[in-house]
Amino acid sequence: MLTANRSDIGKIRQINEDYSWVGELAGGVTLAVIADGMGGHQAGDVASRVAVESLVESVEAAIGDGSYSEEEGSLLIRNAMEKANDTVYRLAAQNDRYYNMGTTLIAALVRGGRAIIGHIGDSRVYLIDSAGIRQLTDDHSLVAELLRSGQISQEEAARHPRRNVISRAVGTDEKVEADVIIAELEPLAVLLLCSDGLTTMVDDDRILETVGDSQTDLSAKAERLIELALHAGGDDNVTVVLLQEEAGTEREV
């Protein structure tokens, strides 16, 4: 599995509250994780780091030899996200500096052309393949809920004054529900995980154009996505992780 992991503080923020991790686990399984933290007194960067480290630790401990079923993998991701929530929530409850800190959290567990994706918040996972670009995750945000219910238009959503308010986060409540989905990846498809520092600055067409460029390697594509977000204003921290199977990779039947 080819991977690229890039993050930038952006042009406005004083610290980078995004945190990401990507690596290969037992049995050729690839795990990728991004968290976008929130909270005063630098608590956002603590929340995102703790959430990612907790999730990675949980998955590594439970993955075994990597021969999980889709049901087992889905439960594994869901349990790991609930454990991350518990870890962040307890840390916030024990330290006044971290009061009400929280974070988004997205994770992709990839093996043999199948991705098990868990998400909480408004960080996103996209699939880029021969059919174009498709957002796999639904934002857990106020504006997304208004959009889904038909109360506002897509154009109104883009400039809504509360577009950064998320309706579900890791660490802000004692319990949180993660959405888990399964996606099939065709050969050479790219899975993009990103914080909203990318998607609020760069539209889907530009993302597709960049990631779909067959003349550029995966690392350069990730760098280019960061550059596009910065050029558009860099209003937030921006983090991207790209995953793609190498050409000629044999898959299990």
Span 22-28, mean pLDDT? 96
Q: How confident is the model at residue 157 (pLDDT cuts 50, 70, 90)?
A: low
Span 163-177, mean pLDDT? 88
pLDDT at 225 over 70: yes
Between 252 and 226, the higher pLDDT residue: 226
Contacts of residues 139-143 at CB distance under 8 Å and 24 or more positions apart, as own/partner, are 139/166, 140/166, 140/167, 140/168, 140/169, 140/179, 141/165, 141/166, 141/167, 142/166, 142/167
Neighbours of 214 (CB within 10 A): 5
Span 11-27, mean pLDDT? 96
- Give the tokens for residue 87: 């870890």
pLDDT at 142 over 80: no
- Give the tokens for residue 241: 């992780």
Of the given ranges (59-73, 133-147, 188-202, 226-240), which has the lowest mean pLDDT? Answer: 133-147
Span 131-154, mean pLDDT? 78
Span 153-165, mean pLDDT? 62
Which phi and psi (to 5°) does residue 173 adopt? -130, 155
- Could you tell me where the beta strands, DSSP code E, fall in 67-189? 102-103, 105-111, 114-120, 124-129, 132-135, 179-184
The strand pair at 190-194 and 124-129 is best described as antiparallel
Span 60-71, mean pLDDT? 95
Dihedral angle, C-alpha 48, 98, 61, 52, nearest 10 °? 0
Contact between residue 102 and residue 37 where contact means Cβ atoms under 8 Å apart: yes
Specify the pLDDT at position 141: 76
pLDDT at 7 over 90: yes
User: Which domains, ranges and CATH numbers included, belong to the chain?
Assistant: 2-244 (3.60.40.10)
Integer Cα distance of 206 and 51 in angstroms: 30
pLDDT at 236 over 60: yes
pLDDT at 251 over 80: no
Q: How confident is the model at residue 39 (pLDDT cuts 50, 70, 90)?
A: confident
> Percent of the chain beyond pLDDT 90?
81
- Residue 169: strand, helix, or coil: coil
> Percent of the chain beyond pLDDT 70?
87
Specify the pLDDT at position 253: 38
Q: How confident is the model at residue 185 (pLDDT cuts 50, 70, 90)?
A: very high
Specify the pLDDT at position 5: 98
Residue 18 exposed, middle or buried by CB count within 10 Å (0-12, 13-18, 19+)? buried
pTM: 0.92
Closest CA to 186 of 135, 128, 136: 128
